Amino acid sequence: MEKIVDQIVPHVIGARFPGRYIQAPGLIARLGVEARPLGSHGLCLLDNGLADVLEEALQEGAAGEIALAFRRHGGECSEAEIAAGIEAGRKARADLVIGAGGGKTLDTAKAVAHALSVPVVVVPTIAASDAPCSALAVVYREDGSVAYDHFLPRNPDLVLVDTAIIARAPARFLAAGIGDALATYYEAESSRRAQAPNCWGTHGSPVTYAIARFCRDVIFEAGAAALEECDRNEAGPALERVVEANILLSGAGFESGGVAGAHAIHHGLCELEDVHHHLHGEKVAIGVLAMLLIHGMEEEFARVNAFCERVRLPVTLAGVGIAEVTEAKLDRVAERACKAGDIMHNEPIAVSPQMVVAALKRLA
C-alpha cells in the first residue's frame, strides 16, 4: 500500500477534485451513459445491505452501454476485502470499477480500481461522509479499528449522486454526513493557521478555504431542514444543498485544506469497541467539540454544540456508545489521537494526550 507523500514542496498551493461530479434525483438511470466514456466492462462492488436493490437498478441504468459483473462488499474496507475485489476485477476482466453504497464500500472500490489501473465510478447511496469525492481510502482492521490511510494518486473519475436514493435512506446517515462536513472548516482553518500541509504535501489554495467555509455555512443554514426532508423521503432543496455540502464541498475542503484534531480524535475513539456501532461522522462531531474545548473557544463550542443537537448529532461520549467512561479508555483514545507524526500535529498548538483527556471529560 502506498504511503503519504514524504516531502513537502514549499510554497506550493493546490486543490483536488473528482473528475466529474453530477447530482440529481433519478440519476442512477443514466449510469451507462455517464460511465461509458470510462470503460465498457465494469466490476460493481455493492454495499451488502442494499445489494439486491442496487444490482437491479444498476443493471437497468447500464443497459445497452456497459456490461456489469457484481460482487457484494464484505463490510469493512480492509486489506482482505480490497484483495478480494482485485481478484474479482481480474476475473471479470474489468476495465472499470463501480462502487455503490456507503463509505467503506466506496473506499474499497477506489483502492481496487487503483490496483487494477482502471477508472472508478462512485455511486453513494448515503451522504454520511465525504468519502465519495476523495482520493483516500481509510483501511480498517477486521475488528473495526483504523489501520491506516491509503492515499491514492487520483480522485474518482465520476461521482454520480442520485439524491432520490439518498433521500430514502435513514436520516441518521445524512446527520452523520453533516458531522463529517462540520469538521471540514475547523480542520482546514487549523491547518491554515499552522501552515501545515494537506495530505498531498502541498498547502491549500485560497479557493480551498473558501469551499471549507461555504461547506460550514451551508450545513448551518440548511442542515435541520434537510433532515426533515429526508424524514419524508423527499429530495427537496435543503437536502440537495446539504448532500452537495456533505459530499463535494466537504470532500474538496478536507482533502486540499487539511485534516487535523477532530479526525485524530475520531481515530482514537475507534480504538474502543464501545463506538464500533456508531457512524464515522458521529464520532467526528465529538472530535470537533473536543478540539474547540482544547482551543479554549468556549463561545464557538456553545454554538456548535447547539447546532449538533439540532441536527441529531451526539454531544456526549454516551452518544457514541461510551456509557462507562474510565481513565483507561480516555487514555487509550488520547494516546492514539496524539500519535507521533499523525494528523493531530496539524493543529496550530501542541496538543498533548492530557489535553485530549481533559476535553473528553467535559463531554462525558
Catalytic residue among 150, 266, 267, 278: 266
Catalytic residue among 180, 203, 278, 295: 180
Query: What DSSP state is assigned to residue 271?
Result: T
Q: Are strands 136-140 and 146-151 parallel, antiparallel or unpaired?
A: antiparallel
Report d(CA 67, CA 44) in Å as an integer: 10
User: Residue 194, Cβ neighbours under 10 Å: how many?
Assistant: 15
266 in catalytic set: yes
Cβ(111)–Cβ(80) under 8 Å?
no
Cβ(145)–Cβ(274) under 8 Å?
no
- What letter represents residue 37's amino acid? P
Query: Which of 83, 95, 161 has the alpha carbon at shortest distance from 122?
Result: 161
Catalytic residue among 114, 150, 203, 263: 263
Report d(CA 122, CA 317) in Å as an integer: 32
330 CB-contact burial (10 Å; exposed 0-12 / middle 13-18 / buried 19+): buried
Number of H helices, E strands in the chain: 14, 10
CA angle 224, 138, 295 (to 5 degrees): 60
What do you get for the CA distance between the two ends of the chain, in Å? 37
263 in catalytic set: yes
Report d(CA 256, CA 250) in Å as an integer: 10
Catalytic residue numbers, as ranges: 180, 263, 266, 280
